[in-house]
Amino acid sequence: MIGEIYYSRKFLQHKPENYHPENPGRLWILISVIRELRLDDRILEPMPVDESFVKRIHDPTYVEFVKRAVEEGRRYLDPDTYVCPGTWEAALTALGASKLATLAALRYGGLNMALVRPPGHHAGRRGKAMGASTLGFCIFNNIAAAVLALKDEGLEKIVVVDFDAHHGNGTQEIFWHDPDVIHIDLHERDIYPWTGYESEIGGGLAKGSKINIPMPHYSNDSDYIFAWNEIVIPILEEVTPEIVLVSAGFDGFKGDGLTTLKLTEKFFSYAGASLRRYPLGMIFEGGYNVGLKKGFPAFVKGYEEKEARDDGQPSYETLKIVEEVKDILSPWWSF
């Protein structure tokens, strides 16, 4: 079942002066797909959060830094990440959309989406996270807003699955010491933000709650489906969450432009189909071209219509990485 879709034209007001891969055209593609899927009657206008909520996610100094940068007319927070007059309202509304999609999934079930910009999973508590050189196009952490919405509803164990091609270093940093937030991150290794390795498992009492699967360059559908079946699905089955939060990036699609991954509709359809048993709060992250045109609808259709089919053989390198991840996490999980 497809539930509610949160989208606002305010997201289009976060826009660069010159060409930038993270631009309003990304959402134009998604909305075109939504119309083709005849789901546009599910679109709802989200409300922005207030500043006090943002400061529950991010250090107040960082929040004030962003606000001041917008007010003063600055163009960039760092070499990757721009701001403009519409950024502040777009970013607060993106957090609001993420909360609302999550609460809709919790209350009514189905796949509920926050089609938001600017993206969020690289934004840590104080901005740049875990030694990353930039914010990676992100302003505030949208998936963290979804987590807080569930915590406010009293949920104890919360699962975030991030399949964006880049590691969600900001999300990992924010919840590094929180054992109740299980963050599973499937991404390409040795690319921006150069984090998310097998050994990063959480801090203190949260050890074992941060699961990183750094996939080899040029990984394809068979590699990703194997890792998904060996690690992601068993953890979900062990936790049995009431809802799954998804940081949904489609930049791993073959030819999307920013990575070497070679995923197709097959993986995204499989991922959607394998999550059908759970209500989903899906928060949009990366994806810049063909991944949005083909990967995004494949995920939606997979959740709505298809059975998960598993075939194909992973590479030897994928087998090694998956076994290493399982070995490191074996004290905490039953694989």
- Centre a 10 Å sphere on the Cβ of residue 131 and count the other Cβ atoms it contains: 10
Q: What are the CA-CA distances from residue 135 to residues 139, 197, 276 (Å)? A: 7, 19, 32
pLDDT per residue as tens digits for the range 112-133:
999 999 999 999 999 999 999 9
Name the region of 214 (left: φ>0; alpha: ψ -120 to 50; beta: rest): beta
Q: What are the CA-CA distances from residue 94 to residues 6, 91, 152, 198 (Å)? A: 9, 5, 18, 30
pLDDT band at 295 (very low <50, low <70, confident <90, very high): very high
What fold characterizes domain 2-329? Arginase; Chain A (3.40.800)
Angle at 183 between CA 311 and CA 239, to 5 degrees: 75
* pLDDT given at position 335: 85
CA–CA dist 183, 196 (Å, integer)? 11
Q: Which of 122, 166, 167, 183 is catalytic?
A: 122
The residues with which 177 forms a beta bridge, in sequence order, are none
Mean pLDDT of 177-204: 98
* pLDDT given at position 195: 98
Q: Which two tokens stand for residue 134?
A: 């930039």
Domain borders along the chain are 2-329
Instruction: Return the minimum-mean-pLDDT range out of 30-44, 152-166, 201-215, 307-321.
Output: 307-321
pLDDT per residue as tens digits for the range 138-173:
999 999 999 999 999 999 999 999 999 999 999 999
pLDDT at 14 over 80: yes
pLDDT at 310 over 90: no
Computed from CA positions of residues 308, 312, 316, 317, in that sequence, does the dihedral angle turn out positive or negative?
Answer: negative
CA–CA dist 281, 93 (Å, integer)? 16
Q: What are the CA-CA distances from residue 287 to residues 26, 37, 163, 251 (Å)? A: 8, 19, 11, 4
Q: What percent of the chain has pLDDT over 70?
A: 99
| Residue 187 appears among annotated catalytic residues | no
pLDDT per residue as tens digits for the range 217-230:
999 999 999 999 99
* pLDDT given at position 148: 98
Question: Strands 43-44 and 2-6, how do they pair?
Answer: parallel
CA–CA dist 108, 104 (Å, integer)? 6
- Name the CA dihedral angle for 285, 131, 126, 168, rounded to a multiple of 10 degrees: 20
